[in-house]
Structure 1
């Protein structure tokens, strides 16, 4: 849970599970309705609104919301996803260098804290091989991975 109640988190997760049942604008409106239940400027609400626009093919409308969510103090897994999704949106809009810089900074911050999967510093480089289990779970289509368009 982030800034919403457990019940709110369940409702936003359920809505994401139904994304295919709605057209883009309809889905955005539903997410906006749930986000409006949180305080104005809430980082979680901003992130969910950005993700809805991004998933509806509106990267141009998602970017300022991702940036606002990060500026508002988004934390945890949503902060990481916002960074990755923002980079993807920037890439879609032709801002390739900015996208690479965001991803590099994210990788550097994670590797400086946790190191690579083998416990060794990565030096900011991506691993050359992804373990088979990671590839399988990444393609499983969970709401978290299906929302990322990287």
Structure 2
């Protein structure tokens, strides 16, 4: 059930563009049947509000999903999306604190660092924002990884 449900949810998100809010809510409601765990329901509803630009409505749902035992596979996604929503509603410090909780061994660590850099920028910490972005980017560089890491460290120390 879980694999087929996840495939249906993935299909929902793949086909979401161009649909009205009403259509999306209707389609999601069909997918969120009674056998879907509450934490997943909360996460998907929050994600839809987020997608529709209704971040203030998404925040509480993300928090409730995390508190309700959202499966580990979705926890990092929920934290990143919650952090992004907090930033978008004018709470960049809270977003940065939350995004900073994602550990370096998490598969979505680099993704989180991108959103953390944005939150730090909005929080008035441009040096820390650039340092965070450069530290996330440096491992993917072909030749200049070490110097960029050094620049990032210098910026982090200034910030």
> 1:111 corresponds to which residue?
104
> 1:142 corresponds to which residue?
none
**2:3, 2:137 → 1: CA distance?**
37
Count of residues paired in the alignment: 118
Q: CA RMSD in A?
A: 2.7
When normalised by structure 1's length, the TM-score is: 0.67
Residue pairs, 1:96-107, within 5 angstroms: 96-106=92-102
> 2:53 corresponds to which residue?
57
Higher relative contact order (CA 8 A, sep 6+): 1
Instruction: Please identify the structure whose Cα radius of gyration is greater.
Output: 2
Are residues 1:43 and 2:51 paired?
no
Q: Which runs of 5+ in 1 are unaligned?
A: 118-124, 134-150
**1:128, 1:7 → 2: CA distance?**
34
Q: 1:70 pairs with 43, 59, 66, which one?
A: 66
When normalised by structure 2's length, the TM-score is: 0.63
**1:100, 1:16 → 2: CA distance?**
26
Q: 1:13 pairs with 10, 14, 18, which one?
A: 10
Q: CA 1:113–1:82 in 2, change beyond 3 Å: closer, same or farther?
A: closer
**1:98, 1:75 → 2: CA distance?**
23
* Local SS of the residue matching 1:14: helix
Q: CA 1:64–1:29 in 2, change beyond 3 Å: closer, same or farther?
A: farther
* Local SS of the residue matching 1:20: coil
User: Can you list the C-alpha shifts for 1:7-42, whole angstroms capped at 9, x where unaligned?
Assistant: 211211111111014112321332133123335x61
More helix by percentage: 2
**1:113, 1:24 → 2: CA distance?**
32
**2:60, 2:6 → 1: CA distance?**
23
Contact 1:87/1:98 (<8 A) preserved: yes
> 2:137 corresponds to which residue?
129
Q: Which runs of 5+ in 2 are unaligned?
A: 111-130, 143-159
